[in-house]
Chains A and B, each alone.
Chain A
Amino acid sequence: MNIWIAIAVTAAGCYLVKLAGLLVPAGVLERPLVQRLAALLPVALLAALTAQQTFAAGQSLTLDARVAGVAAAGVALLCRAPFLLVVAAAVLVTAGVRALGG
């Protein structure tokens, strides 16, 4: 039930912000500070999420095969690999390290 509540709240919230952009008069969202914050908010969230989903095990931090996988994704990104290859590198390296007992 909790999961359905989360789904409903997320769906409603995400739809309403999309609609707000189409309906709100241009001036409100065009203030420079608001624009700067809106551009930086996803940077902060994505960075925190990447770090947490790489190092978190419940409420504690750990080093396991995911670290190698995400590092491989990072290398692929530095080499300007396409999206497909970036995710594939992470998955394959993680699976490989786990298979080797990491």
Chain B
Amino acid sequence: MVRDALGVGVAVGLSGFAFGVTSAGGGLGIWQTCALSLLVFTGASQFALVGALAAGGNPLTAAAGAFFLGVRNAFYGLRLSQLLALPRAIRPFAAHWVIDETTAVTLAQPGRRSARLGFAVTGLSLYLLWNLTTWLGAAGAEALGDTAAWGLDAAGPAVFLALLAPMLRTATERAVAALAVVLGLGLLPVLPTGVPVLAAALAAPAVLLLKGAGPRKSVRGDKDKRDRQAEQAAREQREAGEKEDR
């Protein structure tokens, strides 16, 4: 667990630095960059926001793209609230730390006590590290001068690609990604800056819809419903078994 925690720490520290550099290179001030890491504290959304602002996007369109990337945290919170069973008064404070990394560490813990400890320790240490390295990156970027000459404008898309790669497990995810690339690039010249990314988000429901209307159509109905219920039951059983194993 210590090695995992160290690995997570190094990755987060590095992306914090990359974020600080990218944000400052994109024209945000050092205070604005630090405010983002302090108040938003969810990496992909922050990168998306500064990228959209640097491209000259409308602030609300830019914020919308960042917001949609942050929606996944609600689903992390759902898993965590069952596991941590936090008192209602604590939840508004714990919420700020509900991100990819804290969820991964917390879900890997064997019981409620260690889950709470894992969440608190990961949350606090990553929060400190993320904000420290953001500041270092933003301050460093000012010292570097022209960030493009150093190739730092490639850090943002590389971070996105690294986040995306492990998600491309099945044909569905790959189809969504491919359609999103086509929409995002194809609409870029015709729609206002920032809007094409939001339009590309439609690739997700579009592919789900096409899949639903595809070869599975013939098995729709009661049988399909029963299958799904059986699947759900099997999954719940497996998960329960896993919990006992731990």
Binding site for B on A (CB under 8 A): 2-7, 9-11, 13-15, 17-24, 26, 29-30, 32-33, 35-56, 58-61, 65-66, 69-70, 73-74, 77, 82-84, 86-87, 89-96, 98
* Complexed CA–CA distance, A59 and B132 (Å): 34
Q: Are B11 and A82 in contact (CB under 8 A)?
A: yes
A37-B205, A56-B188 given; name 20 further pairs at CB < 8 Å: A3-B53, A7-B39, A10-B63, A14-B66, A22-B77, A30-B78, A32-B232, A37-B208, A40-B176, A41-B72, A43-B204, A44-B202, A45-B44, A47-B177, A65-B154, A70-B154, A83-B14, A83-B15, A98-B149, A98-B151
CB distance from A99 to the nearest CB of B (A): 8
What B residues does A90 contact at CB under 8 A?
151, 154-155, 157-158
Cross-chain pairs A/B with CB under 8 angstroms, 16 sampled: A3-B28, A5-B60, A6-B62, A7-B39, A9-B67, A13-B70, A20-B74, A38-B71, A38-B74, A41-B72, A41-B204, A51-B180, A52-B55, A53-B51, A73-B158, A91-B150
Task: Count how many pairs of residues, one from A and one from B, have CB atoms less than 8 Å apart in the complex.
Answer: 302
| Residue of B160, B196, B205, B232 with highest tally of chain A CB at under 10 A | B160
Interface residues on B, range: 35 or more
- When C-beta atoms are compared, the residue in chain A nearest to B199 turns out to be A48
State whether the Cβ of B45 lies closer than 8 Å to any Cβ in chain A. yes
CB distance from B4 to the nearest CB of A (A): 13
State whether the Cβ of B95 lies closer than 8 Å to any Cβ in chain A. yes
Looking at chain B's contact residues, the main secondary structure is helix
Q: Are B78 and A43 in contact (CB under 8 A)?
A: no
* Complexed CA–CA distance, A57 and B55 (Å): 8
CB distance from B122 to the nearest CB of A (A): 15
Q: Which one of A17, A45, A94 contacts B73 once the chains associate, using CB atoms below 8 Å? A: A17
B39-98 residues with Cβ-Cβ distance < 8 A to A are: 39-42, 44-49, 51, 53, 55-56, 59-60, 62-63, 65-78, 80-82, 86, 91-92, 94-96, 98
